[in-house]
Amino acid sequence: MTTKRIIPCLDVKDGRTVKGVNFINFKDAGDPVEMAKAYVAQGADELVLLDITATVEKRKTFIDLVRRMAEAIQLPFAVGGGIASVEDAEKILNAGASKVSINSAAVKDPDLINEMVEKFGSKKVVVAIDVRKVDGQWKVVVDGGNTVVDLDALEWSKEVEKRGAGEVLLTSMDHDGVKNGFALDITGDMVKALKIPVIASGGAGNMQDFVDVFKQTDVDAGLGASVFHFGEVTIPELKALLKKEGIAVR
């Protein structure tokens, strides 16, 4: 039985961790490096660091943050947000990130996945797939959840796997920040369709939401943001409950 991973996500804007609802109305959650250290102490399995205002002029500041993060913690962490080329990914990995996560750029140019896998290996390449339900169908969305693409989420996930990505980070934009639980239907379908690991994201509001997603979908990892940042759930308590429910955790 594979052990399930618990992954806090740090959305970073102007050097601070923030959290919003459906990717808007952000509020400050703290210093990302200090928060990362706290999550390591709590027993997080990995971290995700997302540059949500990734622009050219701010990129250098963000790379400095990645470097500080790598120096401060001994824990794998993936970095995403505005990575649009092999060169962008190389800078992030050279700064100390364990993996890079690409999203909109991969949808616009799927060959980018192949190029990154060829250069860095599949284990370092995560493809983030943001989805919304449109007329009963799960569609891919890009540009921070703002633009719906006429691309079926499951079909895209299969293509991502075929192109060599090592992992999929699935976020339901309808559920993001709302704290009503993960999107169990699309998560379950994607896990069944793929052989590579899937991380469930978007909607964690309490410990039971993690129990449900692990029991009902066999997903590899559960990701949360504000539910961890504001102390509504602590990782030791969560792992204790998961163990009690018969779910293997590290």
Would you please indicate which residues are annotated as catalytic (active-site) residues?
A: 11, 130
Q: Comparing C-alpha atoms, which of 37, 42, 22 is closest to residue 178?
A: 22
Q: Are strands 221-224 and 198-201 parallel, antiparallel or unpaired?
A: parallel
User: In this structure, are residues 70 and 96 in contact, taking their beta carbons and an 8 Å threshold?
Assistant: yes
- In this structure, the chain runs to a length of 250
- The count of C-alpha atoms lying within 13 angstroms of the C-alpha of 177, restricted to the half-sphere facing its C-beta, is 14
The strand pair at 99-102 and 77-80 is best described as: parallel
Please answer whether residues 157 and 194 qualify as being in contact, where contact means their C-beta atoms are separated by less than 8 angstroms. Answer: yes
Residue 120 CA to residue 1 CA, distance in Å, equals 28
DSSP per-residue codes, 84-143: -SHHHHHHHHHTT-SEEEE-HHHHH-THHHHHHHHHH-GGGEEEEEEEEEETTEEEEEET
Residue 114, classified by CB atoms within 10 Å of its CB into exposed (0-12), middle (13-18) or buried (19+), is middle
